[in-house]
């Protein structure tokens, strides 16, 4: 295709695949799309290993890396001498204990303090910088900031390495701010997307962002898991699309079997925007976890980011283990970040096949539009 | 254009304009679109007058009528010997009195009991039947049911009159149910729409509904106020689009000047889905009214439909009068049903111009898609 993005990034088909799984990233890039590895789950050393693995498989085809750099931070996370876990109030620890007991989760607690510290700090600006440094040593074609404006050091380092910077936004105002901060490419993400989202739908958001920051190119995200939806996004003025949810049910995805089954069974009514996993509103599968945090009388309410992330990830690690053993209570609690397109996902497919199907359906959707408007 | 809908309904351009204002309906129909008059605000006699007015102006071009037939009713509304206002609890009356006083609304109370009864009953199945009967005496091209499946009597009467029945839905399940109940045409309405909406976005909902009920034709609603958005909706598989919000800021619209100014100034972040006006979740401008009902400590919470509608409309009539006088408290409270596209509306235009701009931008969007995919 002939969008400015295709030319600038050397990609055949402007389909960007956000995934935490290197296999998905490599498969999409090799199929003519653009894989983007979500780096938040990795330490800098681990990220280096993952990117080397990808480099060895994509033969120079373009891929990117996504880091989570939140704009506002819980100040407690900035004290590097403290254990982040120490900032979690007793009420919140007790509520997690209560939930695990109420739902009969038997998996043992993990020794979390050190891991949690490492993980929690990685979503701070300081923590992200280690990942950015590693990423820019690899031949990546894009670096993306998933939350908040890209910090000046990230923009400077990327510029020096000749790597374009992308930023995800949910409002026109944020898009303007991100462009001012140096973003070369904006991902306008509607409320129907999985993970951290705003209130405005893709249909409404994309044209407004396109008009507000022209000629800066815009990718559309949220509600896109088919060629028809991709064609719709491009009709709105996007230069390409950024998809996350659709890869979760691919063969390559790291998604655990219990979660994959829940995703395949879910309808588009089965997601909710909840603060219960990260402290910021993030769309995910409705489950007993989101219901209890968001609605139970005894819920203390979620903490901010990154503290709620620590509370949730510690418990979710245990819940995940128990769910894989088939424990019914854990299966009620377990969930994952996913967009409303989850209702379309009912079959496990290779990532490559998803790309090819989207390309083919995109062409059919454009043909149909031509036929309709020829009358 | 050559969609099945265009052929069946004899319309040039499958742009459906929902409006409570006969001037908008006639202007859109005369410009090549399809005007649909929202009948809920009228008594059967008034509706007859409005439709006669339209008939005299559209020269046989197609237009339709929309009635509100809720699926589930507050049982109290079914007792025709009682005054509906008698069912409104003191707490709710007191809260309205408190709000009007807190915001210094000085407009006098209207004698509401009889009007409210009439109005409240019109949104019952029995009340709607009077409107349907009147509508079918006019040469309408479509009758739509805005809430819940069209009742069997409505379908039977429409069939006998040779008028297709449309129904608005927010989920795939409702679409199936509406088709089973006899709907000839489904309007799949995303969460971003104004008025009564569900949770699922247009981008996600439309393709699922199209696939679930094929070959029954689908119009897309929610998030559509421009030619790019119309092209996007058609790329998703819709046969046309159903727009409401975009007409509210046209020259012809009945919208009061104070509300029109608020609409023109609003961004896409300024709407909320709230039960505070009708008892069911309806997207509208955020205002002190929605904030107080939805969040104030002393709020008794909204009643069901139609009782909340009575509570709200009585107060809103006074608030509207005070807002037109420029009373600051009333200007904080006043609002109206509108979708997230309100952020795009920043200029008053004739309805005809809106239609022509959408036609022209639609063509450009299709051209752009062709150019992009030619590469």
Which pLDDT belongs to residue B113?
53
Q: Cα distance from A366 to chain B (closest Cα, Å)?
A: 7
B194 and B111 together in one domain: no
How far apart, in Å, are the Cα atoms of A320 and each of A317, A323, B184? 5, 5, 46
Q: Which three-class secondary structure state does DSSP give residue A181? A: coil
Average pLDDT of chain B is 91
| pLDDT tens, position by position, B25-42 | 999 999 999 999 999 888
The answer as to whether B229 is a domain residue is: yes
**From the list A3, A192, A365, which residue is nearest B235 (CB)?**
A365
User: For residue range A216-264, what is the model confidence (pLDDT) as tens digits?
Assistant: 999 999 999 999 999 999 999 999 999 999 999 999 998 999 999 999 9
Half-sphere exposure of A94 (CA within 13 A, CB side): 6
Residue pointed to by tokens 């102006």: B57
CATH number of the domain enclosing B156: 3.20.20.70
pLDDT: is B123 or B1 the higher one? B1
Q: How far apart are CA B210 and CA A232, in angstroms?
A: 14
Residue A145: how many CA atoms within 13 Å on its side-chain side? 33
> Is B78 contained in some domain?
no
Q: Do A375 and B1 touch (CB under 8 A)?
A: yes
Below-70 pLDDT ranges, chain A: 69-82, 110-127, 375
Do A375 and B237 make contact, defined as CB atoms within 8 angstroms?
A: no
What's the confidence (pLDDT) of residue B345?
Answer: 98
Site from B200, B220, B232 to mutate, A interface, most A CB atoms within 10 angstroms? B232
Q: What is the per-residue pLDDT for A219?
A: 98
Q: Report the C-alpha gap between A150 and A179 in whole angstroms.
A: 9
Q: Give residue B146's pLDDT.
A: 80
Q: Which residue has the higher pLDDT, B233 or A110?
A: B233
For testing contact with chain B, the best of A197, A365, A372 (most B CBs within 10 A) = A372
Pick A1's closest partner by Cβ from B222, B269, B373. Answer: B373
- On chain B, the residues whose CB falls within 8 A of the CB of A243 are none
Q: For residues A32 and A13, is the Cβ–Cβ distance under 8 A?
A: yes
Same domain (yes/no): B40, B133: yes
A364 and A264 together in one domain: no
Span B276-296, pLDDT tens digits = 999 999 999 999 999 999 999
Q: Are residues A25 and A159 in the same domain?
A: yes
- For the cut 80, the answer to whether the pLDDT of residue B313 exceeds it is yes
Q: Do B207 and A226 touch (CB under 8 A)?
A: yes
Put simply, the chain A residues between 10 and 69 with a CB less than 8 A from any chain B CB are none
Instruction: Give the pLDDT confidence score for residue B72 in this predicted structure.
Output: 45
Q: Which of residues 347-366 of B touch A (CB under 8 A)?
A: 362-363, 365-366
Is residue B311 over pLDDT 50?
yes
Token pair listed for A119? 């993980």
Distance from the B125 Cα atom to the nearest Cα atom in chain A, whole angstroms: 27
Residues A351, A314 share a domain:
no
Task: Say what the pLDDT of residue A72 is.
Answer: 45
Residue B193 lies in a domain: yes
pLDDT band per the 50, 70, 90 thresholds, residue B87 = confident
Q: What is the pLDDT of residue B306?
A: 80
Is residue B164 within 8 Å of residue B184, measured between CB atoms? yes
| A8 lies within 8 A of chain B by CB | no
The alpha helices in chain A, defined as continuous H runs, are 4-9, 22-30, 44-58, 90-102, 113-122, 125-136, 152-161, 172-180, 202-213, 227-235, 257-265, 288-295, 307-324, 328-333, 351-373
What's the pLDDT at A375?
57
Q: Are residues A303 and A206 in the same domain?
A: no
CB-based contact A198:A332 (threshold 8 Å): no
How many beta-carbon pairs under 8 angstroms link A with B?
A: 172
Q: What is the band of B261 on the pLDDT scale with cuts at 50, 70, 90?
A: very high
Q: B350 CA to chain A: closest CA distance, Å? A: 22
Whether A257 contacts chain B with CB within 8 A: no
Domain residue limits at B335: 83-119+255-344
Give the closest-approach CA distance of A310 to chain B in angstroms.
29
Domains in chain A: how many in total?
2
Between B68 and B213, the higher pLDDT residue: B213
pLDDT at position A306: 80
Q: Name the burial class of residue A124, with classes exposed (0-12), middle (13-18) and buried (19+) by CB atoms within 10 angstroms of its CB.
A: buried
List the 186-205 stretch of B: residues with Cβ below 8 A of A: 190-192, 198-205
Q: What is the mean pLDDT of residues B71-81?
A: 51
**Chain A residues in contact with B6 (beta carbon < 8 A):** 375
Average the pLDDT over B89-107 and give the result. 93
| Same domain, yes or no: B264 and B298 | yes
The yes-or-no verdict on residue B244 having pLDDT over 70 is: yes
pLDDT for position B73:
43
Same domain flag for A198 and A49: yes
The reply to whether B54 and B133 lie within a common domain is yes
Q: Residues B45, B175: one domain?
A: yes
pTM: 0.94
The pLDDT value given to residue B37: 98
Say yes or no to pLDDT of B201 above 50.
yes
Q: Are B19 and B38 spatial neighbours (Cβ–Cβ below 8 Å)?
A: yes
pLDDT, position A41 = 82
**Predicted local distance difference test score (pLDDT) of residue B208:** 98
Residues A219 and A245 in one domain: yes
Clarify whether residues A279 and A195 are in a common domain: no
The confidence band for B124, taking pLDDT boundaries of 50, 70 and 90, is: low
């Amino acid at each position: 295709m002939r969008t400015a993005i295709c030319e600038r990034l050397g990609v055949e088909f402007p389909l960007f695949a956000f995934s935490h799984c290197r296999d998905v990233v490599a498969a999409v890039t090799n199929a003519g799309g653009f894989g983007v590895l979500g780096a938040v789950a990795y330490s800098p050393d681990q990220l280096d290993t993952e990117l080397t693995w990808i480099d060895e498989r994509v033969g120079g085809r373009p891929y990117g890396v996504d880091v989570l750099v939140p704009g506002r931070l819980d100040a407690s996370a900035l004290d590097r001498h403290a254990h982040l876990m120490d900032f979690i109030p007793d009420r919140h620890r007790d509520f997690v204990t209560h939930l695990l007991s109420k739902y009969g989760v038997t998996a043992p607690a993990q020794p979390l303090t050190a891991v949690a510290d490492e993980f929690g700090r990685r979503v701070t600006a300081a923590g992200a910088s280690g990942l950015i440094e590693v990423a820019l040593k690899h031949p990546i074609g894009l670096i993306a900031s998933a939350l908040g404006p890209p910090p000046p050091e990230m923009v400077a380092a990327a510029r020096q390495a000749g790597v374009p910077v992308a930023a995800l936004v949910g409002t026109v105002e944020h898009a303007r701010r991100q462009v001012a901060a140096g973003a070369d490419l904006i991902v306008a993400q509607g409320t129907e997307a999985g993970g951290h989202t705003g209130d405005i739908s893709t249909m409404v958001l994309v044209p407004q962002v396109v008009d507000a920051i022209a000629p800066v190119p815009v990718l559309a995200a949220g509600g896109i898991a088919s060629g028809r939806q991709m064609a719709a996004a491009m009709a709105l003025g996007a230069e390409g699309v950024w998809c996350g949810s659709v890869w979760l049910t691919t063969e390559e995805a790291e998604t655990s079997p219990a979660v994959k089954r829940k995703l395949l069974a879910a309808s588009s009514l089965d997601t909710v925007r909840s603060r219960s996993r990260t402290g910021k509103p993030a769309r995910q599968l409705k489950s007993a976890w989101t219901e209890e945090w968001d609605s139970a009388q005894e819920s203390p309410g979620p903490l901010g980011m990154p503290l709620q992330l620590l509370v949730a990830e510690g418990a979710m690690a245990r819940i995940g283990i128990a769910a894989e053993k088939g424990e019914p209570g854990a299966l009620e609690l377990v969930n994952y970040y996913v967009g409303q397109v989850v209702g379309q996902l009912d079959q496990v497919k290779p990532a490559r096949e998803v790309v090819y199907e989207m390309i083919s359906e995109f062409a059919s959707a454009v043909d149909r539009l031509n036929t309709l408007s020829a009358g």
